[in-house]
Amino acid sequence: MPQWNCACANCAAARKGKIEPETQSSIAISAHSGEFQSWWLINASPDLARQIERTPSLQPRSDPSRNSPIAGVLLTNADIDHALGLFLLRQQEKPLVVYATDETRVALEWLDRVLARFCGIEWRKINIDFQTLNGCMALRAIELPHSVAFQFRDDTSGRSALVAPAVSEVTRELSDASDASDVILFDGTFWSDHELATVRPDARSAREMNHLSISGGSLDFLRQSSARRKIYTHINNTNPILMPGTRERTQVEQAGIEIARDGLEIVL
Ligand SMILES: [Zn+2]
Ligand SMILES: [Zn+2]
């Protein structure tokens, strides 16, 4: 936000400096702090280069001259706004490690072919059972229609985080995973099912775009969750929760749910 061709209330306010602009959503996760900390990206946004420059811990160390603390990327699905950032990582020497389902890998075959001329991609499968990601962090996938969510477990503290930025419905597995998580980052793309129709009359509904809306959907689900922190992420520029003082934002805040913003740091 702002989106280049959008003049909705949020985009207009962001252009006027009335609310903070936001880059497209990407999350970085790391198991422990320290000098040689490595990071995994959950989805690679088209704004990734800018996000790395704003986040010192994602930047290369001074020696050797080419290096990165980014160990690889975990994809929730094949959406273009989750995959375009992979192009920006093409200059590395080793193949780029990408965890994804077979369905996502097949859908990104075009990108695989382009990157083969640069570093290439080392595809890895994600399991529905916990697998070690590196050192003291474990990862498992929760399968959803058209996407996956990820659950991370810090093996030192035993705490878990659920990261679900693309959710079309709350399945039994997702509900169980959220019950067992200390922190939840959840799909906050749209407030209502027909939100996009206000800016583009022929737009598809949230449901048709595989997103469960907040109103009448995830708000009640998250309100009942006992997780220590619940945070909406992957918020579309049209969503009224991005505007301070709106009735919709107030409802989210009163439900004990936070609204992610660029640079938000969460300690599990
Ligand atoms: Zn907009
Ligand atoms: Zn997306």
What DSSP assignment string belongs to 148-172?
EEEEEEETTT--EEEEESS-SS--H
- Predicted confidence at residue 134, as pLDDT, reads 76
Cβ-contact 218, 190 below 8 angstroms: no
- pTM for this prediction: 0.95
Query: What mean pLDDT is predicted for residues 104-122?
Result: 97
| Residues across the chain | 268
% of the chain with per-residue pLDDT over 90: 85
Task: Say how many Å lie between the CA of residue 260 and the centre of ligand 1.
Answer: 17
Task: Say how many Å lie between the CA of residue 13 and the centre of ligand 1.
Answer: 9
Task: Say how many Å lie between the CA of residue 62 and the centre of ligand 2.
Answer: 33
Look up residue 136 and give its two tokens.
């003291």
Look up residue 218 and give its two tokens.
């995830």
Task: Say how many Å lie between the CA of residue 73 and the centre of ligand 1.
Answer: 28
Give, as residue ranges, everything with CB less than 5 Å from ion ligand 1: 3, 6, 8, 11, 237
pLDDT per residue as tens digits for the range 180-212: 999 999 999 999 999 988 888 888 988 888 899
Query: What mean pLDDT is predicted for residues 229-252?
Result: 97
Give the whole-angstrom CA distance, residue 207 versus residue 169. 9
Give the whole-angstrom CA distance, residue 246 versus residue 9. 12
* Burial bucket for residue 64 (CB in 10 Å: 0-12, 13-18, 19+): exposed
Give the whole-angstrom CA distance, residue 152 versus residue 139. 5
Ligand located closest to 188 CA: 2
pLDDT per residue as tens digits for the range 124-146: 999 999 999 877 899 999 999 99
